[in-house]
């Protein structure tokens, strides 16, 4: 076992600018749909509430995300900073995905994040609602992976 200290910049206390960087880094990570990679942004004992599910620790985060992305196909996410103070960030987000029957959804939500001194997320509380949409009503059309810098954000899209 390594005694190396994990640091994930930017670290608290956050400014508006560093919080925006943190939000974009989280969005980029989640858009990889790589559960192991995403889990490294969280403390080893990170505590989540995601909808009505409670998850604790990186291994559980990996398992949760693997299940999520096996069900939510062609997942594309946009996050936007809502508020920031010291070691806490609030974001709003939307993501589009379809199920294995090719029914499309846009999921909307809010997250509250709390970080440790090294910039790892220790707590994540997420509220999410799913809206069925027609494929023709999709707004997130970039190739799977990182959202291009020139793709509109939530506010730009009127979401």
pLDDT per position in the chain (159 positions), as tens?
A: 555 789 999 999 999 999 999 999 999 999 999 999 999 999 999 999 999 999 999 999 999 999 999 999 999 999 999 999 999 999 999 999 999 999 999 999 999 999 999 999 999 999 999 999 999 999 999 999 999 999 999 999 999
- In words, the CATH class of domain 16-137 is alpha beta
The dihedral region occupied by 43, where left means phi > 0, alpha psi between -120 and 50, and beta the remainder, is beta
Using CA atoms in the order 12, 16, 18, 20, what is the torsion angle rounded to 10 degrees? 120
Write down the pTM of the prediction: 0.95
Residue 60 is given by DSSP the state H
Q: Is 26 helix (H, G, I), strand (E, B) or coil?
A: helix
Q: Residue ranges per domain, the chain? A: 16-137
Query: d(Cα 20, Cα 22) in Å, to the nearest integer?
Result: 5
Contacts 24+ apart (CB under 8 A), 134-143: 134/104, 135/98, 135/102, 135/104, 137/104, 137/106, 138/96, 138/104, 138/106, 139/96, 139/106, 140/76, 140/78, 140/95, 140/96, 142/76
Query: d(Cα 110, Cα 60) in Å, to the nearest integer?
Result: 21
82 Cβ contact list (under 8 Å, min separation 6): 90, 91, 92, 110
Q: Is 134 helix (H, G, I), strand (E, B) or coil?
A: coil
């Amino acid at each position: 076992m390594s005694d190396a200290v994990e640091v994930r910049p930017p670290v608290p206390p956050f400014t508006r600018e560093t919080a925006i960087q943190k939000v974009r880094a989280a969005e980029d990570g989640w858009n990889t749909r790589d559960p192991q990679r995403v889990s490294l942004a969280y403390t080893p004992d990170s505590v989540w509430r995601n909808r009505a599910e409670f998850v604790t620790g990186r291994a559980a985060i990996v398992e949760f995300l693997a299940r999520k992305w096996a069900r939510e196909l062609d997942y594309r996410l946009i996050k936007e900073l809502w508020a920031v103070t010291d070691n806490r960030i609030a974001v709003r987000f939307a993501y589009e995905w379809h199920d294995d029957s090719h029914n499309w959804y846009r999921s909307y939500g809010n997250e509250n994040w709390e970080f440790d001194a090294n910039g790892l997320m220790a707590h994540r509380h997420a509220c999410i609602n799913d809206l069925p949409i027609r494929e023709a009503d999709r707004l997130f059309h970039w190739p799977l992976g990182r959202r291009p810098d020139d793709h509109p954000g939530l506010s730009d899209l009127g979401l």
